[in-house]
Amino acid sequence: MEKKKKSNEGESKNSKIDITSKENAKRMSLERRKKEGEVGCYIERESMRRMSWKRENEELRKRGREREREREREREREREREKEKERERDIKRKTER
């Protein structure tokens, strides 16, 4: 019976060592991959994604504002053309009288 107890104790020690060595190996590989830039912290990746979304949204808003300005300029040009046509019509009416 004593031999079994010793073997059981040895197994538990070995299993603990195996678990900690596996955890250490995982930790070391993660740190190495972090340094190489393969894997970043989840929060860092999320913040990067948010920043890219922010930039994309800002670009879309910027383009939208530019389009709206261009439309407004086009409307203004159209108003000017209409005014010019109206002036020409008035001049023709006055000269006909």
List the chain domain ranges.
Answer: 2-72
Q: Is the pLDDT of residue 34 over 90?
A: no
Q: How far apart are CA 2 and CA 8, in angstroms?
A: 10
Q: How many residues does the chain have?
A: 97
Average pLDDT over residues 79-84: 97
**pTM for the full predicted model:** 0.42
CA distance 17 to 23: 10
Q: Which residue has the higher pLDDT, 52 or 32?
A: 52
- 72 vs 6, which has greater pLDDT? 72
Q: Mean pLDDT highest for which of 21-25, 44-48, 77-81?
A: 77-81
35-53: pLDDT as tens digits: 766 655 666 777 778 888 8
